[in-house]
């Protein structure tokens, strides 16, 4: 190995600063959420306590946090499952050209770049003009899918671009039906990337704000509830809530990453031993 | 196989756009909206000075954010792709950069308060260093805060595609350039940057559209003192003036699509995945 150049150390320092920039503010509010009961929104700390976390568990103090959390969680799971299923189906379909494939492709790009508030406004208008009630599990769910599906599909495109079709041909030659090929050959190979799609599906839905704004109806999701709090809550209870949901997000991300690592390992272990035998 | 996805997009993307275009020609009274074919909303929009100022502001935010996210994102991606030698470390550090993307934007905005506030960390540090005597007022609730938050939230969208294209550059090209006597700067300028262009374009599309369509960051970080097009729309929505919100939304959508259309001339997205 050649020795490290000066630019390596300069760039390392730059990278460290960037990471500090990314995480510093979040760490700051995590520290401040342990503010003593008399403390305010900034330093100095007036002692340390769990006062503000306890506050979160008192229903009257801060609105319907636990209700909105459970709605966000359920909605996240719904969006996650739908994103995975629809993205795999879409990814499989896109391996061949089909009627409307380029229109669909441009729709997906549009869905990704369209300002979120347009989806919110448009879906809200459709529901109100046709006399339907907006609800997080119907209009909110659909509006969020327009944000998660493009990510899921783009990941699937990347996966199938690198997919070796000879595995499927081999399965067909051995007499497997299309379903058997999909179930026993294609899905196990793309399995680890599906965990990535699930991660995007869940977290993007769990944190989505703009597309749910006019489509969730009278029951708020957690990001809407938190945003509502920013206008009328001026105590560190806001930080305590922020810290808790960030910790929750990090746990979910950790879970997905561990799953991905585990399934990649399992695939490596249980995979084919072709070419590794005694020759 | 593609039918379900098509159905979702038709119902929750195409129909809403058609609805917005339709409603933009409707009339509004104080408590309801009436179907009509009326150009009044557009006449009002294009006749008002506020519109032009707000559109200018939107482009300003997009441009400044683009400059910062591109320079920071490119440097970070370059460091990860060319200076980190083991794949495991590359993946670990890359994940470190992407994890905040999966957490809440609202909370990441809120978390700037203790830093930028009048009695915040930035002000008290600067005062204790003797750089300033009075706390600076323009740190929080200003254009500065808005752009800082945009850069904080969206630099990832530059890092990821640029890193992705850089990882696919054949390392032997760089060796060849070095053997032919190119300096580090020449390699960067004549080999790496041209080969990274698709990634830069994809990152640019992300950042520009996210900033142009934003309304919440501007509202929160400027303390409602600055406006962009998104805020114009959300203010109209708050007043239940849906036809005028729709007209603004149509113009915003066209603007974004034109900008994207121009950028897509330089890159074939499907080839880059």
ipTM: 0.87
The label of the residue with tokens 């990337």 reads: A193
Distance CA B213, CA B157 (A): 15
> Using CB atoms and an 8 Å cut-off, which of residues 250-269 of chain B contact chain A?
252-253, 256-257, 260, 269
CA distance, residue A140 to nearest chain B CA (Å) = 10
B16-44: average pLDDT: 83
Q: Which two tokens stand for residue B62?
A: 């997009």
Give percent of chain B with pLDDT exceeding 70: 97
Contact at CB, A126 and B220, closer than 8 angstroms = no
Of B19, B72, B106, the CB nearest to A18: B72
| Dihedral-angle region of residue A39 (phi above 0 means left; psi in -120 to 50 means alpha; beta otherwise) | beta
Grouping H, G, I as helix, E, B as strand and the rest as coil, residue A244 is helix
Q: Is residue B105 situated within a structural domain? A: yes
Asked if B96 is an interface residue toward chain A (Cβ–Cβ < 8 A), one would say: yes
In sequence order, the β-bridge partners of residue A48 are: A35
Closest-CA residue to B45 (of B62, B61, B25, B64): B25
Whether the CB-CB separation of A139 and A217 falls below 8 Å is answered with: yes
Q: Is residue B13 situated within a structural domain? A: no
- Domain range for B245 is 40-266
For chain B, give the number of residues.
273
Backbone angles phi, psi at B222, to 5 degrees: -95, 0
Contact at CB, A11 and B75, closer than 8 angstroms = yes
| For B212, nearest residue in chain A (alpha carbons) | A115
pLDDT at B147 over 90: yes
User: Domain A67-267: which topology?
Assistant: MetI-like fold (1.10.3720)
Q: Which two tokens stand for residue A81?
A: 């499952």
Q: Is residue B166 situated within a structural domain? A: yes
Q: Cis ω on the peptide bond leading into residue A44 (within 30° of 0)? A: yes
Residues in chain A predicted with pLDDT less than 50, given as ranges, are 279
CA distance, residue B180 to nearest chain A CA (Å) = 18
Whether the CB-CB separation of A50 and B112 falls below 8 Å is answered with: no
Distance CA B61, CA B83 (A): 32
Distance CA A206, CA A219 (A): 15
Contact at CB, A125 and B246, closer than 8 angstroms = yes
Output the pLDDT for position B273.
61
Q: Is residue B114 situated within a structural domain? A: yes
Helix axes B15-23, B242-264, angle to 10 degrees: 130
The label of the residue with tokens 């960037």 reads: A18
Closest-CA residue to A48 (of A240, A224, A273): A240
Compute CA distances B27 → B38, B70, B168, whole Å. 7, 43, 54
Output the pLDDT for position B66.
95
Pairing mode of beta strands B27-28, B33-34: antiparallel
Mutate to test the interface with B, among A79, A125, A155 (most CBs of B within 10 A): A125
The label of the residue with tokens 């460290």 reads: A16
Count residue pairs from A and B with Cβ separation < 8 A: 236
Contact at CB, B107 and A242, closer than 8 angstroms = yes
Q: Which two tokens stand for residue B8?
A: 């979702």
Sorted by where each begins, the domain ranges of chain A are: 67-267
Cβ contacts of A258 within 8 Å, gap of 6 or more:
none
Q: Read off the CATH number of the domain in which B92 is found.
A: 1.10.3720.10
Contact at CB, B260 and A26, closer than 8 angstroms = no
pTM summary value: 0.88
User: Which residues of B are less than 8 Å from A52 in CB distance?
Assistant: none
Contact at CB, B245 and A121, closer than 8 angstroms = yes
Distance CA B142, CA B121 (A): 17
Output the pLDDT for position A274.
54
Mutate to test the interface with B, among A80, A117, A143 (most CBs of B within 10 A): A117
Contact at CB, A25 and B117, closer than 8 angstroms = no
Distance CA B110, CA A246 (A): 12
Distance CA B157, CA B160 (A): 6
> Using CB atoms and an 8 Å cut-off, which of residues 152-211 of chain B contact chain A?
152, 155, 184, 205, 209
Asked if B31 is an interface residue toward chain A (Cβ–Cβ < 8 A), one would say: no
Output the pLDDT for position A279.
47
Of A5, A28, A90, the CB nearest to B2: A90
The string of DSSP letters for chain B reads --HHHHHHHIIIIIHHHHHHHHHTTSEE-SS-EE-----HHHHHHHH-HHHHHHHHHHHHHHHHHHHHHHHHHHHHHHIIIII---HHHHHHHHHHHHGGGGS-HHHHHHTTHHHHSTTSHHHHHHHHHTS-SSPPSSSSSSHHHHHHHHHHHHHHHHHHHHHHHHHTS-HHHHHHHHHTT--HHHHIIIIIHHHHHHHHHHHHHHHHHHHHH--HHHHHHTTT-S--HHHHHHHHHHTT-HHHHHHHHHHHHHHHHHHHHHHHTT--HHHH-
Asked if B36 is an interface residue toward chain A (Cβ–Cβ < 8 A), one would say: no
Output the pLDDT for position A135.
86
Half-sphere exposure of B211 (CA within 13 A, CB side): 33
B2-31: average pLDDT: 87
CA distance, residue A132 to nearest chain B CA (Å) = 14
> Using CB atoms and an 8 Å cut-off, which of residues 105-144 of chain B contact chain A?
105-108, 110-115, 117, 119-121, 124
pLDDT at B70 over 90: yes
Helix axes B193-213, A116-129, angle to 10 degrees: 40
User: Which residues of A are less than 8 Å from B21 in CB distance?
Assistant: none
Q: Which two tokens stand for residue A38?
A: 């008399």
User: Which residues of B are less than 8 Å from A112 in CB distance?
Assistant: 209
Q: What is the 3-state secondary structure (H, E, C) of A87-130?
A: HHHHHHHCCCCCCCHHHHHHHHHHHHHCCHHHHHHHHHHHHHHC
Distance CA B60, CA B200 (A): 19
Asked if B80 is an interface residue toward chain A (Cβ–Cβ < 8 A), one would say: yes
| For A11, nearest residue in chain B (alpha carbons) | B79
Of B79, B106, B246, the CB nearest to A223: B106
CA distance, residue A279 to nearest chain B CA (Å) = 31
Contact at CB, A122 and B5, closer than 8 angstroms = no
The label of the residue with tokens 């006597």 reads: B181
Contact at CB, A126 and B113, closer than 8 angstroms = no
| For A209, nearest residue in chain B (alpha carbons) | B106
Distance CA B39, CA A237 (A): 48
The label of the residue with tokens 């200018």 reads: B56
Angle B216-A58-A254 from CA coordinates, rounded to 5°: 60
Of B107, B111, B256, the CB nearest to A115: B256
Distance CA B139, CA B152 (A): 15
Contact at CB, A86 and B4, closer than 8 angstroms = yes
Contact at CB, A210 and B76, closer than 8 angstroms = no
User: Which residues of B are less than 8 Å from A18 in CB distance?
Assistant: 72, 76, 97, 155
Contact at CB, B253 and A11, closer than 8 angstroms = no
């Amino acid at each position: 190995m050649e020795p490290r150049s000066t630019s390596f150390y300069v760039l390392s320092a730059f990278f460290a600063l960037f990471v500090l920039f990314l995480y510093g503010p979040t760490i700051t509010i995590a520290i401040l959420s342990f503010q003593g009961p008399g403390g305010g929104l900034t330093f100095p700390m007036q002692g340390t306590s769990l006062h503000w976390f306890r506050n979160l568990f008192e229903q009257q103090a801060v609105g319907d946090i636990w209700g909105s959390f459970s709605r966000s969680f359920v909605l996240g799971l719904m969006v996650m499952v739908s994103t995975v299923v629809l993205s795999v189906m879409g990814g499989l379909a896109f391996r061949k050209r089909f009627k409307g494939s380029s229109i669909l492709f441009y729709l997906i790009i549009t869905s990704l770049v369209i300002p979120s508030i347009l989806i919110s406004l448009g879906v809200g208008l459709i529901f109100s003009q046709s006399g339907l009630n907006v609800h997080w599990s119907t209009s909110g769910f659909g509006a969020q899918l327009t944000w998660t599906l493009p990510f899921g599909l783009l990941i699937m495109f990347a996966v199938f671009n690198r997919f070796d079709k000879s595995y499927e041909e081999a399965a067909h030659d051995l007499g497997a039906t299309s379903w058997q090929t999909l179930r026993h050959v294609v899905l196990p190979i793309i399995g680890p990337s599906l965990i990535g799609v699930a991660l995007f599906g869940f977290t993007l839905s769990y944190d989505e704000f703009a597309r749910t704004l006019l489509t969730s109806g009278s029951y708020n999701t957690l990001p809407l509830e938190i945003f509502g709090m920013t206008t009328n809550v001026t105590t560190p209870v806001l930080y305590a809530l922020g810290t808790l949901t960030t910790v929750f997000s990090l746990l979910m991300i950790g879970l997905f990453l561990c799953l991905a690592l585990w399934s990649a390992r399992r695939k490596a272990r249980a995979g084919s031993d072709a070419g590794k035998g005694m020759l | 196989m593609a039918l379900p996805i098509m159905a979702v997009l038709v119902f929750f993307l195409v129909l809403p756009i058609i609805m917005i275009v339709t409603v933009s020609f409707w009339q509004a009274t104080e408590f309801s909206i009436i179907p009509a074919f009326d150009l009044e909303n557009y006449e009002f929009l294009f006749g008002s000075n506020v519109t032009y100022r707000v559109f200018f502001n939107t482009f300003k935010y997009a441009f400044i954010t683009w400059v910062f996210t591109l320079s920071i994102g490119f440097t970070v991606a370059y460091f990860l792709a060319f200076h980190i030698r083991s794949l495991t470390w590359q993946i670990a550090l890359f994940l470190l950069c992407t994890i905040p993307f999966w957490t809440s934007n609202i909370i990441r905005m809120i978390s700037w308060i203790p830093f930028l506030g009048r009695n915040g960390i930035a002000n008290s540090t600067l005062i204790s260093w003797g750089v300033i005597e009075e706390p600076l007022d323009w740190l929080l609730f200003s254009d500065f805060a808005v752009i800082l938050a945009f850069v904080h939230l969206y630099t990832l969208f530059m890092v990821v595609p640029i890193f992705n294209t850089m990882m696919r550059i054949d390392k032997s090209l760089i060796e060849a350039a070095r053997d032919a006597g190119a300096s580090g700067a020449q390699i960067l300028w004549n080999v790496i940057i041209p080969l990274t262009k698709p990634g830069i374009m994809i990152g640019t599309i992300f950042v520009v559209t996210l900033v142009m369509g934003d309304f919440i960051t501007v509202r929160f970080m400027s303390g409602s003192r600055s406006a962009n097009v998104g805020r114009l729309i959300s203010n109209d929505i708050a007043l239940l003036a849906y036809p005028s919100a729709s007209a603004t939304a149509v113009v915003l959508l066209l603007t974004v699509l034109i900008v994207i259309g121009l950028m897509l001339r330089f890159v074939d997205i499907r080839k880059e995945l």
